[in-house]
Structure 1
């Protein structure tokens, strides 16, 4: 009961909403499916068998309702349907679905409960179930939290099975044969005598058949597509330059826009003079926007030149104006008044620490930008009372609602095309750039306005990964950790995002604590407390969110405890872990790296383990000292995803996440002066270059258990594994990122 007591406030709020929801909506409303959005947008030339399957004269299209940001999600989602539908992989076409309640993300909501993902006790499962019910009523379609696969695994396979069932029934009626006698293969229904009917021919009749609510699914032993490394459906278009991102959109009557906002984040514009800008060639107009101005011209370059020429008088900063002031703002939150949660409180930490001389340390990380390769871009057109938008977004249902409200239109008169995205890392959970495009479309009705942010605008007007500070106390005895007290202070991503979206976010922000309380380390006296600093500069989700900094904090200090105990860092962790899958993952990474083999002078190995989004990941990094600085030579990573639906794509995601984490660890930092971000382009906000990238070796484990997503879990261990490797090679313990502030990299 003491565990429940620590989360009483949030439990009460969630429980109250759930009860109210049950009374208001009832079981019938919950069991009733959302309408098939493909029927509303039907063209008369295709048959929508389910919200995920459409058949026309060209073949089968599978609708994938999650954002494709380069993570390969469209391929694996399509494979879930195709497996049960029995279609040839090479014949499948993939489309992003329209914004629709039918595509709500249940897993992304239910996994936000204040329990460890490894906790499958009655209270945890009851709350997950409650949140899953509420997710259907909230009906929010979003991509995030590494939730696409957990949400879709059953849902989309059932959709494929239902579509196949309907096609078989249609064939049975046409042939006057029992449906049980028919088989399917590669998009055809096959009779016992060898007769065949294509899905294309059967689809119109199948679309009229009422679908059953539940059907058996193929056992894993019969999978033909799932579990295989499939050719990605987007690779040809992306490799040939024919894929359409927002930055590629071309429509009739298009004009082009660029924007410039107050360099002091969220501060207003006092006044401006656009005389010089309007006189420039190709410039059509200059429009005031909240906090800034935009220029509209006949091409993007001219729009960017014009907006730079606008004379602006900016209001003073509304937030702490320097990096030092912001860090002081965060560290000031280390008091009872700002305690946000205490998600773990095992044993008696204070008494245990008082029994010896505790090891103490403070760790810090900076603000970080998302910096996707494709900058924020959107196209909008308001014509004859209808608004049409082309953009890459991660929450299309919310964006559509927001833009309808902004334009004063009924939501049915707003059409949002969700496009491929040139990266995101959480950036396109924000809708600021879409809002700007819609405002500009309202200023020039009938014209399609393509708004493209400059790289400078992208880096200086982001909603950032928050800076954070951790304070540790720990005690070891007889070679083992006996007590661990971790306190973390930061800004609340949940509150900041919620405020911009107009959504109330009551209760504690679990994202602040993610990566501290749920780590399966069997420390007898273990306390994890999160402190929420009052709102300041805008912050947002960044790949792995709270785990991105708490992973560095936790695994850096665990390494310190291991060395203070005189223990091998790998064996120290293995002895502490209470989760068998995590132990196997950690050992697999160590085996890949040859842990324990002698190293030449000037070389070092570092290990880190982290559980994020239910996925245990371990990394071992090997570094070498050179006259030019530290060279990262090798990175070995292992992870357990439960079931490996596409091993090659999982490997690619772990590689990409590790490089992303290394870039942040080595170089990533956003700093502030006079309220403005100082980093304006990639020469000031660096990433790991090809020549600096280590050799990466991956081991994918599939040890059973729940299906898990892999887009984010590979990022958190990279920074601590590298910092621990540097300590191994040099004896220098670095507790602050980026590491380049303290050492030089070759």
Structure 2
């Protein structure tokens, strides 16, 4: 039996092998794992066992399958492997690898079960393990939910350790020196006499060995990279303008494309007249696509100009055309028949409220576009034998499947080349642009077709953040919060998004109550109810998903109750908090901001807390009410993630999340009129300007035993911390966003 045949039947256990003249290493957690995707890349004389580390004659390549959207995912994944492999980051290159079930996300199950992240009991752990099984069997390869680091933490360090020990075993074969007498350093095996054998010189011997799977991860005291300030792998390219993105791709014989779809998302194209467009310079083809029409031309500008020249009769929107009806649908959803979940129901809320003077409030959060800076794009080439797709995506396997359905190819013949993304915030969890590019490429077989959406086309057809409304009732007594009843109404993000991906959806949508029901506060009478509103405009995941609205609802109402009780906002949160790591986060942000120290008149501090994606995060905003409006001076942030891999990247991620949360809370919304989005570019969908940006001080805590991601958790507390600070400075409560509809900012 040939070695290749033996490898083909081998279980995907921790292992190593040669790839492209070298060695590949990886790790998985289950006995019957997925096949190794790198076997399909083999050429004569090459071998592969597992998919995370490739050692070739040219150097070390690390496979980093979680998409890089600007958050440093490639860098962090590479650092985790490199820590145990004993290579420096300047010795490696990274490759996102092919779409494959082997790269399924092992951390997605955490938010899919009705147990708070603070619950580490047997039933909670068992439920997460059970939910992980279908993720594995379906091979759900998704980047999202702040899961890149939790998914990679053990998996990739084990991969590096197995690779390291197998290379030492290869050196033993080559030299006869016992493996126990060897060390590794900077990409080489060090023999007892001090001589060095570079990893690249050991590929052939390593490929012939069974992997050394009995490895022990290094003690944190021995770490060279984890916890240290690092220079991100992409920082030089991004600082010098040389980083390549999907929009930068160029191929010989490439056609450029532009599209127009019904500006009422989901509506039909009833009729069109492309006579004028066909006569325009550079136009090669007019191609009808699902829900609209596209133009193929010799450059993108001519394609965009031509597609605008097409006269089109559009059908109506399949949802209420005006915003008043959207808000009314939410208001009408606070009924028993619309209850989606009630996972938090402590004490006797109804009796307590009936016997008390109630504090009541209603909050609103608007639709919000993703609006990544890089214009959304995809390049597709279709030939009879294969399809190639070049795009930035968080869902490469879904892209592969959907393109195969469009072109009629087997999914194995659809090759997705994942590109660095110039922003996402959840946008790249959708693949509309890829589907459209595939339809267009079918009209020009053999030629690469690059579809670039204009900013206006993208924002008109973005699947925005959910619209949401909350109603709170509460009671206080003896200076304490005694009762909190919070109802939240929104359409189901999961049903909308997963429906487009073709995934089955059953049971409650926990995103309706995420960031609210699971907060670790011991309010004696405490209820959080999620109401599933009817489907309105199509929606999708937006940075921190349900918690992006619910963090504002829950903490703002808690702050109102604390004020009604006459208690200190930070002290009462600490008194109510039952989760030790969360208490330390609140204590830290209080110490950082010098909470309780006097402020001059017209200045105010607001504190907010939200547990999302397993991460306790607390923020204090300090601001000044000037004659011209509110000026945000400082923001202090503390977050508990279990382990900070790269402090610089951690700080950047947290600061970016705060800016994202503040900017959208102050000035951004997506609204519909006649079924069409009214905000089509950055002039009508603004962001926080540099002169408005406060000084942001960050502290990462490492008290929890679970390692978490921090891409999204800084977002939910930003809006309530700002609103609470505005109340402290001015006495004005802000209960719906954007805030600049009610108050001026400078």
- Give the TM-score band, short-chain normalised: over 0.9
Alpha-carbon distance in structure 1 between the residues aligned to 2:724 and 2:704 = 31
Partner of 2:4: none
Please state whether the residue corresponding to 1:345 is helix, strand or coil: strand
| Corresponding residue SS for 2:369 | coil
SS at match of 2:316: coil
Partner-residue secondary structure (3-state), 2:515:
coil
Instruction: Check if 1:326 corresponds to 2:326.
Output: yes
- Matches of 1:732 and 1:92 in 2, distance apart? 54
1:220-248 deviation digits (Å, cap 9, x = unpaired): 11111111121100111222222221101
Cα 1:241–1:482, aligned 2, differ >3 Å: closer, same or farther? same
TM-score (norm 1): 0.95
CA RMSD, aligned part only?
1.4
Query: Quick one: distance in 1 between partners of 2:456 and 2:261?
Result: 11
2:639 matched to 1:639?
Answer: yes
Match of residue 9 from structure 2 = none
Q: For the residues of structure 1 that align with 2:189 and 2:628, how far apart are their CA atoms?
A: 65
Which segment drifts farther, 683-692 or 93-102? 93-102
Name the residue aligned to 2:551: 551
Q: Is the 8 A contact 2:39 2:49 kept in 1?
A: no
Pairs within 5 Å for 1:247-396: 247-396=247-396
1:5-154 to 2 correspondences below 5 Å: 30-42=30-42, 48=48, 50-154=50-154
Contact 1:64 1:94 in 2 (8 A): yes
Contact 1:70 1:422 in 2 (8 A): yes
2:605 matched to 1:608?
A: no
Kindly state the Cα deviation for residue 113 of structure 1 after the two structures are TM-superposed: 1.1
Partners in 2 of 1:620 and 1:426 — Cα distance? 26
- More divergent stretch after superposition (49-58 vs 344-353): 49-58
Q: For the Cα contact (< 8 Å) 2:166–2:212, is it kept in 1?
A: no
| 1:363 Cα deviation after fit | 0.5
Q: 2 CA distance for matches of 1:345 and 1:52?
A: 45
Partners in 1 of 2:372 and 2:608 — Cα distance? 27
SS in 2 for 1:428: helix
CA distance in 2, matches of 1:743, 1:364: 16
For residues 558-582 of structure 1, what are the alpha-carbon distances to aligned partners after superposition, in whole Å with 9 as ceiling and x for unaligned? 1101110111111111111111111
Distance in structure 2 (CA, Å) of the matches to 1:126 and 1:352: 35
Match of 1:500, SS?
helix
CA contact (8 A) 2:657 2:714 kept: yes
1:331 CA displacement: 1.9
When residues 241 and 46 of structure 1 are mapped into structure 2, their CA distance, relative to the original with a 3 A threshold, is farther
1:13: which partner in 2?
Answer: none
Aligned to 1:499: 499
Once the two structures are TM-superposed, the CA of residue 45 in structure 1 deviates from its matched residue by: 8.4
Instruction: Give 1:453's aligned residue.
Output: 453
Q: Give the structure 1 partner of residue 188 of structure 2.
A: 188
2:486 alignment counterpart: 486
Distance 1:207 1:628 in 2: 69
Q: CA deviation at 1:204?
A: 2.2
Distance 1:172 1:261 in 2: 63
Which residue does 2:13 correspond to in 1? none
Look up the SS of the partner of 1:573 in the other structure.
helix
Question: 1:132: Cα distance to partner?
Answer: 2.2
* Structure 1 residue matching 2:247: 3-state secondary structure: helix
For 1:517, the equivalent position in structure 2 comes to 517
SS for the counterpart of 2:107 is: helix
Report the number of matched residues: 719
Matching residue of 1:217: 217
How far is 1:207 from its partner? 2.3
Unaligned runs of 5+ in 1: 1-27
- Give the superposition deviation at 1:39: 2.7
Q: How has the CA–CA distance of structure 1 residues 344 and 425 changed in structure 2, closer, same or farther, with 3 Å as cutoff?
A: same
**1:384 Cα shift?**
3.0
Aligned equivalent of 1:724 = 724
Shift of 1:44: 5.8
Q: Please report how far the alpha carbon of residue 46 of structure 1 lies from its aligned counterpart in structure 2 after TM superposition.
A: 7.1
Q: Specify the alignment match of 2:629 in structure 1.
A: 629
Once structures 1 and 2 are overlaid, which stretch shifts more, 331-340 or 308-317? 331-340
The corresponding residue for 1:23 is none
Counterpart secondary structure, 2:499: helix
Aligned-residue offset at 1:140: 1.4
1:594-644 CA distance string (max 9 Å, x none): 211211121111110111111111111111122321111111111111111
**Residue 109 (structure 1) shift:** 2.7
Please give the secondary structure, in 1, of the residue aligned with 2:683: coil
User: Which whole-Å CA distance do the structure 1 matches of 2:388 and 2:436 have between them?
Assistant: 14
Q: Secondary structure at the match of 1:106?
A: coil
Instruction: Please say if residues 608 and 718 of structure 1, whose CA atoms lie closer than 8 Å, have aligned partners that are also in contact.
Output: yes
Change (3 A) 1:45 1:688: farther
| Partners of 1:242 and 1:45 in 2: CA distance | 35
Match of 1:19 in 2: none
* 1:470 aligned residue: 470
Mean Cα displacement is larger for which, 254-263 or 589-598?
A: 589-598
Q: In the aligned structure 2, how far is the partner of 1:79 from the partner of 1:449?
A: 35
Question: Does the 8 Å CA contact 2:173/2:205 hold for their aligned counterparts?
Answer: no
State the partner residue of 2:15: none
Contact in 2 for aligned 1:46/1:57 (Cα 8 Å):
no
**In structure 2, what is the Cα distance between the partners aligned to 1:295 and 1:450?**
11
Offset of 1:211 from its aligned partner?
Answer: 2.0
